[in-house]
Structure 1
């Protein structure tokens, strides 16, 4: 198959794996999957990669032949074990190690779908193919490969948005949300407040975030709790906000507080574009919770960035942990 085919299929597999196995990735992982999706063709001098490698590719071809060792499960394990931890160390992102395995493995699976197959269990000379009947497999360079690329591209475009928000986030988005507007009349602590909605005082608990405790009975004041409470009060007190209340799942917690996302209109145009829940995480005032909700993956990405920068509680508190 052509190099473009392998890259498209590799990215499709990365997006699908992220959606199914619930890990998030950034640009380094996308690049790692693309590069590793063409690595097995290092043993074929006529391939695009073979031309780049020159004599190295010819030596590999003489030693192993095409679609043998470099197209085997053994090579997949060795490459993932060698490159994966290195990229994780260089980028600080564990998803890059997963991307190495997914990208390399996608090439093997794609070549299994051609007429020639691969020696997947090298050094055994047995040829692995999928599916079993020749007429259902891809002919390299033919119309069937073009159809395969089109199908892989369609699936990549389908899986990409799901991989960014997760299946749980997609379900919450499809379920919709109720919208209410009100004024914040009281801030209890960093993640709890009272909002007056249509003349009724409504206690609100922010979804997906957990600021250190400051008012919990019989609990000590948490590290960076006063700072978080002060930030929330300074930002929200007396301000008009938009409450986003998901229709999927519980609308109230065990204490009868409305579970919501709080949106702010920062420039006065009525758009309410700033999500305060996420703002708390980005500024290092809150940890994330682990239960499913609409913006869980976005919040986790923000938390990782804040933790890496050491902002807020991540730099001030000893060994903060993710909230349950």
Structure 2
């Protein structure tokens, strides 16, 4: 073993192995508390609906980003932005990708020119991990859950909705398998919603190192505003991303997944196939780490309808 004698300048200014940046904040800048009555198809604020969901399009924004944005990033379309360096344009990129397409014309434009999923897999995730991951992982699991749910009164939601209470009242145990769920990796919009439609893509659980089965689910009209611009990449093609946690062994080496599935609390689901019509209940979140797409993650219940 060699002993390195520290020089005077090293003692005064010890080297820091990592440069930690403060985490940016995610905020909602328009109301998201509108509800939908699935029986009548009308928007309503009543708490007596058979099923209460969040179907409006929330405006979400990343704020207090502790890094500069290059002037060349302003005034670009979303397709131009994904071709720019994430180190230069990160905050603007996320804010554009967080937008919810609110009409069919916008959705068709995005479908006709899908955003490259490589941009999300490498640029956005890589940038988040480089800048924020270590700071984020310093928070305890308990603290992350407290921040994830924020002001949401989870028990009250269950009490006001019998159907949701059945499927969601015991769902909190799933978060024991979800070691690092908290902000700003995820932003919770609603702790429990149910969506229905057809599967368009499935990732085999054996191929997912974190043990999750993931699939894209095209959404029926009442749910179509739940997706963000980031969902219109060449992998999700405008569908919401659904994650069935811990369907196989967790072999991930990434710090963000370390410890996932160790509690053994996640239920096992039948593996859906492309074309299946499914009903999924779970937490409605935005994945900030991977660029701002909308997910049902974790899924609490799933049934294959046809």
Shorter-chain TM-score tier: under 0.3
Higher normalized contact order (CA 8 Å, seq sep 6+, divided by chain length): 2
Q: Normalising by structure 1, what TM-score?
A: 0.17
Greater helix content = 1
Q: Which has the larger radius of gyration?
A: 1
Greater strand content = 2
